[in-house]
Amino acid sequence: MLQVHGLNQYYGGSHILRGLDFEAKVGEVTVILGRNGVGKTTLLKSLMGVVPVKSGTVTLDGTDITRDTPYDRVRRGVGYVPQGREIFGRLTVEDNLLMGLAYKKSSTPIPAELFELFPVLKQMIHRRGGDLSGGQQQQLAIARALAAGPKLLILDEPTEGIQPSIIKDIGRVLRLLAERGMNGQRMAVVLVEQYYDFAEELADQYLVMERGEVIARGRGHEMQANGVRQLMSI
């Protein structure tokens, strides 16, 4: 679904991403791990087009999207959940979800499947986003990204500041999305995470980043044997 080749990114004179190569497959969760400041969030912003790629290519389902705007990437099937959630605090839950359908016809309904994945959102449909708990806001941010039915879902540290019970719910949903997708269409999931146990539980594939490079990669079931927890603490 997603192929990244030779991706380089700079901030000023700093070389942030250094020739990254990887792919994310349909039906799998690809987890990207690493300490703060190694370039994980920059990578996701580059995949989403929030920051322009200096060099390299990003391909989605066989189409080169390297120079596409974020808006075009959403239309092509990319869903993005940024770090910090960035929901619209003054809008209701319903209006936040409708924002995820912004490029669709105005008559397009909110997919009922979102409320099956996140029942609390149906209960709070008329509450303002800013009145929800942190965990509920994270569920709302994920649901908003899913509203348009993406082929690829990108998430930046969805467990940050979230209570354990909701972390489990989010993990369950991400696994379902990889295996079943939305409306029966499976998707690829790319997840940046620092919470090792959550990452190990979900990962079909893992990448460990350090100083803008991938220093280790493999299958999720190999993480413990390959000492990934130790790599993250180096």
Q: With contact defined as beta carbons under 8 Å apart, do 211 and 180 qualify?
A: no
Query: What's the number of domains the chain is made of?
Result: 1
- Beta carbons within 8 Å of 173's beta carbon, 6+ residues apart: 117, 118, 142
Q: In terms of residue numbers, what domain contains 47? A: 2-232
pLDDT tens, per residue, the chain with 234 residues: 899 999 999 988 889 999 999 999 999 999 999 988 889 999 999 999 999 899 999 999 999 999 999 999 999 999 999 988 889 999 999 999 999 998 888 888 999 999 999 999 999 999 999 999 999 999 999 999 999 999 999 999 999 888 998 999 999 999 999 988 887 788 999 999 988 999 999 999 999 999 999 999 999 999 999 999 988 876
Q: Report the alpha-carbon distance of residue 171 to residue 202 in Å, rounded.
A: 7
CATH of the domain at 60: 3.40.50.300
Verdict on whether the full-model pTM lies above 0.75: yes
